[in-house]
Chains A and B, each alone.
Chain A
Amino acid sequence: MYKVLIIGNPNVGKSTLFNSLTKSSEHTGNFHGVTVEEKRKIVFLNDEKIEFIDTPGLYSMNTFSFEEEVSKNLILKTNGTRLVLADANSLRRNLYLALQMKELNLDFKLLINNYDYFIKKGGNIDLNKLRIFNSEVEIIDAKHVCLFEKKSKKIFKNAKKTQKNYEFKLNFNDFQKKSSFFVQEYLIDFVKKVKLKYNLNDETIVRAFNGIFDNLSEEQIEFIKRFNKEIVSARYQYLDKVLNDSITTKKDYVYGASKWDKILLKPIFMFPAFLLFFFLSIYIIFFALGPLISDFLIFILDKLIMTPFLNLMYSISSNIWLIEFVKSGVFSSINTVLSFLPQVCLLFVFLTLLEDSGLIARLSFIMDDFLSFFGLNGKSIYIILMGLGCNTMSTAASRNADNKNLKIKTALINPYISCMARLPVYVIVASAFFGAKAYFVVVGLYLLGLMVALIMALILNKTILKNKSSNLLLEFPALRGVDVKHIYTVSKINAKDFISRVFGVVLSVGIIVWILTHTTFSFAYTEFVTDSILYFFADKLAFLFAPIGLNSAGIVTALIVGIMAKELIVSTLSISNNVASNTALIASLTAATSVVHFNMASAVSFLVFTLLYCPCISNLAVLKKEVGTFYMWFAIISQLTTAYLMSFIFYQGITKGIVYPIITIIVATIILLAIIYIIKKVKHPKCLTCNKCRK
């Protein structure tokens, strides 16, 4: 099979090109680090199988993060056509990677994207002079490349060319003559060959040569440092020589800078504007436009599918078990969750607006100082915003953090950010008890989740995951207008994902829950949930939840099922209360006769617990993959503890007054400080060498 690898610096349009070529809908964005792992798709062209591979962005073959390492390995290992995508507006830096690839004798085809914008800003490129590596160069518009165009076919088929005219070679002769000791060019070549042959990364090389470099003199170390600088400078001098001939730009042109930045980078403007955008988005999504579309969708579903189907069932069968199973087991699960589809799509419209416009990078700059206090950095704002959509996606995105501790910390605090799956629970329970004020309750839950996440980050930063420094080095993208087509694509992807979850996890688990809540120990059907198997076991666990006001088997069942996926909570509540619509569920939650019902305090406690405990099983799987088993268990225990503690504070505060929460906070703080002290002691036992211990 023929392989085509798409390579380039971050945010040059690789995923956009991949989507255009393969007619895919992978997530793209106007921000550094949107793609964190390779994406593959096989396409047939003239009966030939072509596998396209989209890679995470990398600046150089000297990798700094996990996703860069993924790209480097793909570049070195993949046999096929390598397409190096460069942005016309930052060609000098983009070509640095291409130059390194040429040094390694790796063939590629150079594609220049975003040329229209460059022309608009007064720039020009002479393509003939740019053919510096004797690689083919094409100007493309990544958004509109079609695989079946003649030009595209040429790109893939004629990519392999010789490198006869490639003139750049690192020349260190002069430098070596000046050096006072033995470091020969062959050492560099040797290391390069070892790296390639055994596919070693830079850290492995450093470890392997660690012993050798231990005994270097100051002079030798200084030489090696200078040697590195000389190599980089030599590359850029060569690139400057080539680009000075082939590119003309307006004087002082800076890509990414905008006249609007004067306002956008002022915290006094940006903070209120962002908060206004955030609150307005929530209002429109969940309390204005969202419910309108939802109601319409439910109406259509009910009139066109559910009612006719149930009528048909009534006419052909008298089996009450089967009818109830379809009505409250299958339709109820689908209906309650699918009715939130418009809200999910709207949420992604707002998130995409932020991401596409280039505002996230501006927010990162403004928020960096604030987030540094918690041991995070400006880039974390992207992961936090992404978490509003899906915690699992944002946990995976934490891998583009600058260092290991920051990555683990970001992954661990992520689940506290309220994701879209929890929204149906908030809206239904808050609407039942707070009516018109439900909006403020939902906003409050979002802010509580954010606050807990930041406190958690601070605690982790002070204990087990200290950051030496957070080296924020972030490229600013240009501000862009709204691309309706892209917003539509992103919403479509997320709607599809949501629907597949509804029909996959929610429906299958919903059916299991229905069977367990309508089957007795003698395997007979029961319409009373209280006689069911699940209720029996949940009832045995309910006493654990008494201090937080949730000592009801129905509620415990919903919370247990919610670990699979938060969307299941609403469908479980519907099944338990034997209702088929959101309106009926809202009404049933306040009725004392319902299997699951709340009072004001227990409703708040339930909402807080739902906000803070483990988001879903897929999130735990990604956590395990990204940060390992130890931290996955750490996450589970800390999330359950935090959820329980916060629910306790809210429940006791509402029912018994302010004293209980204050005592709880004091006791919790003492326990936390004791844990921190123990961890610090374990990590740093008393010694005789450091000043602190000597004192």
Chain B
Amino acid sequence: MSLFDVKLNTECVVKDIDSNDEKTSLRLMELGVIVGSKIIVKNKSSFKKTLLVFFNSTCFTIKDEIAKSILVNYV
């Protein structure tokens, strides 16, 4: 399951990052989205293409393309 499919306000743990887009996945990891880190989807935009997520004690907005590359498990 990718972060894009996660229900709002549910805590997840990052299982892996899909490396098809090397550049983006490296940036995500460098921001702290690494295997084992906890992540919560707090909000989705009206067309649900942009997510507001909490990770690494900070708040980020990310696009659906990126969210799809973050593979997660529910806690």
Is there an interface contact between B49 and A372, defined as CB atoms closer than 8 Å? yes
Is there an interface contact between A236 and B66, defined as CB atoms closer than 8 Å? no
* A225 with B19, Cβ < 8 A, contacts A59-B31, A96-B32, A365-B52 known: yes
Q: 8 Å CB contacts to B: which residues of A102-145?
A: none
Sort chain B's interface into a size bin: 20 to 34
Residues of A contacting B56 with CB < 8 Å? 90, 92-93
Residues of A contacting B37 with CB < 8 Å? 236
Is there an interface contact between B61 and A365, defined as CB atoms closer than 8 Å? yes
Instruction: Identify which of A60, A225, A475 contacts B22 (C-beta below 8 A).
Output: A225
Residues of A contacting B59 with CB < 8 Å? 254-257, 475-476
Residues of B contacting A315 with CB < 8 Å? none
Q: Which listed segment binds B: A71-79, A346-354, A466-474, A641-649?
A: A466-474
User: How far, in angstroms, from A94 to B20 measured CA to CA in the complex?
Assistant: 26
Instruction: Identify which of A59, A62, A92 contacts B57 (C-beta below 8 A).
Output: A92
Q: 8 Å CB contacts to A: which residues of B1-53?
A: 17, 19, 22-24, 26-32, 34-35, 37, 42-43, 45-47, 49-50, 52
* A472 with B31, Cβ < 8 A, contacts A254-B54, A369-B45, A369-B50 known: no
Is there an interface contact between A475 and B58, defined as CB atoms closer than 8 Å? yes
Instruction: Identify which of A60, A261, A471 contacts B66 (C-beta below 8 A).
Output: A471
Residues of B contacting A92 with CB < 8 Å? 32, 56-57
Is there an interface contact between B27 and A368, defined as CB atoms closer than 8 Å? no
**A468-507 contact mask (Cβ, 8 Å, vs B): 1 or 0:** 0111111110000000000000000000000000000000
Is there an interface contact between B45 and A93, defined as CB atoms closer than 8 Å? no
Is A229 on the interface with B (CB-CB < 8 A)? yes
Is there an interface contact between A472 and B26, defined as CB atoms closer than 8 Å? no
Chain A residue with Cβ nearest B56: A93
Is B62 on the interface with A (CB-CB < 8 A)? yes
User: How far, in angstroms, from A44 to B42 measured CA to CA in the complex?
Assistant: 49
Is A265 on the interface with B (CB-CB < 8 A)? yes
Is there an interface contact between B58 and A59, defined as CB atoms closer than 8 Å? no
Residues of A contacting B29 with CB < 8 Å? 228-229, 232-233
Residues of A contacting B17 with CB < 8 Å? 229
Is A366 on the interface with B (CB-CB < 8 A)? yes
Give min CB distance, A130 to chain B, whole Å: 16
Residues of B contacting A267 with CB < 8 Å? 45-46
User: How far, in angstroms, from A300 to B8 measured CA to CA in the complex?
Assistant: 59
Give min CB distance, A432 to chain B, whole Å: 42
Give min CB distance, A269 to chain B, whole Å: 12
Give min CB distance, A352 to chain B, whole Å: 22
Is there an interface contact between B61 and A254, defined as CB atoms closer than 8 Å? no
Sort chain A's interface into a size bin: 35 or more
Residues of B contacting A89 with CB < 8 Å? 57-58
Residue of B27, B57, B60 contacting most chain A CB atoms (<10 Å): B57
Is there an interface contact between B52 and A265, defined as CB atoms closer than 8 Å? yes
Instruction: Identify which of A64, A368, A475 contacts B50 (C-beta below 8 A).
Output: A368
Chain A residue with Cβ nearest B65: A469
Is A249 on the interface with B (CB-CB < 8 A)? yes
Is there an interface contact between B30 and A96, defined as CB atoms closer than 8 Å? yes
Is A364 on the interface with B (CB-CB < 8 A)? yes
Is there an interface contact between A90 and B57, defined as CB atoms closer than 8 Å? yes
Chain A residue with Cβ nearest B36: A233
Q: 8 Å CB contacts to B: which residues of A74-98?
A: 89-90, 92-93, 96
* A232 with B45, Cβ < 8 A, contacts A89-B57, A378-B50, A472-B61 known: no
User: How far, in angstroms, from A62 to B49 measured CA to CA in the complex?
Assistant: 27
User: How far, in angstroms, from A257 to B43 measured CA to CA in the complex?
Assistant: 11
Is there an interface contact between B66 and A232, defined as CB atoms closer than 8 Å? no
Is A377 on the interface with B (CB-CB < 8 A)? yes
Give min CB distance, B44 to chain A, whole Å: 10
Is A299 on the interface with B (CB-CB < 8 A)? no
Is there an interface contact between B58 and A473, defined as CB atoms closer than 8 Å? no
Q: 8 Å CB contacts to B: which residues of A26-82?
A: 59-60, 62, 64
Residues of B contacting A228 with CB < 8 Å? 19, 22, 26, 29
Residue of A92, A249, A365, A474 contacting most chain B CB atoms (<10 Å): A365
User: How far, in angstroms, from A496 to B35 measured CA to CA in the complex?
Assistant: 51
Chain B residue with Cβ nearest A368: B50
Give min CB distance, A6 to chain B, whole Å: 21
Chain B residue with Cβ nearest A361: B61
Is there an interface contact between B63 and A473, defined as CB atoms closer than 8 Å? yes
Is there an interface contact between B30 and A59, defined as CB atoms closer than 8 Å? yes
User: How far, in angstroms, from A472 to B29 measured CA to CA in the complex?
Assistant: 15
Give min CB distance, A231 to chain B, whole Å: 9
Give min CB distance, A512 to chain B, whole Å: 49
Give min CB distance, B18 to chain A, whole Å: 10
User: How far, in angstroms, from A90 to B60 measured CA to CA in the complex?
Assistant: 12
Chain B residue with Cβ nearest A469: B65
Is there an interface contact between A474 and B60, defined as CB atoms closer than 8 Å? yes
Give min CB distance, B30 to chain A, whole Å: 4
Residues of A contacting B58 with CB < 8 Å? 89-90, 93, 254-256, 475-476
Give min CB distance, A494 to chain B, whole Å: 29
Is A253 on the interface with B (CB-CB < 8 A)? yes
* A229 with B35, Cβ < 8 A, contacts A265-B52, A469-B65 known: yes
User: How far, in angstroms, from A112 to B39 measured CA to CA in the complex?
Assistant: 25
Is there an interface contact between A232 and B34, defined as CB atoms closer than 8 Å? yes
User: How far, in angstroms, from A253 to B57 measured CA to CA in the complex?
Assistant: 6
Instruction: Identify which of A59, A257, A366 contacts B54 (C-beta below 8 A).
Output: A257
* A469 with B63, Cβ < 8 A, contacts A64-B27, A265-B52 known: yes
User: How far, in angstroms, from A62 to B17 measured CA to CA in the complex?
Assistant: 18
User: How far, in angstroms, from A92 to B27 measured CA to CA in the complex?
Assistant: 15
Chain A residue with Cβ nearest B45: A369
Residue of B30, B37, B47 contacting most chain A CB atoms (<10 Å): B30
* A365 with B45, Cβ < 8 A, contacts A254-B59, A470-B63, A474-B61 known: yes
Instruction: Identify which of B19, B34, B46, B52 contacts A369 (C-beta below 8 A).
Output: B46
Q: 8 Å CB contacts to B: which residues of A233-255?
A: 233, 236, 249, 253-255
- Smallest CB-CB A-B distances: 4 pairs: A256-B59, A476-B59, A232-B29, A369-B47
Additional A-B contact list (11), CB under 8 Å, known A257-B54, A475-B59: A89-B57, A253-B57, A255-B57, A261-B43, A378-B61, A470-B63, A473-B28, A473-B66, A474-B61, A476-B58, A476-B60
What are 8 A-B interface contacts by the 8 Å CB criterion? A60-B27, A96-B32, A228-B26, A256-B58, A267-B46, A368-B50, A469-B63, A471-B65
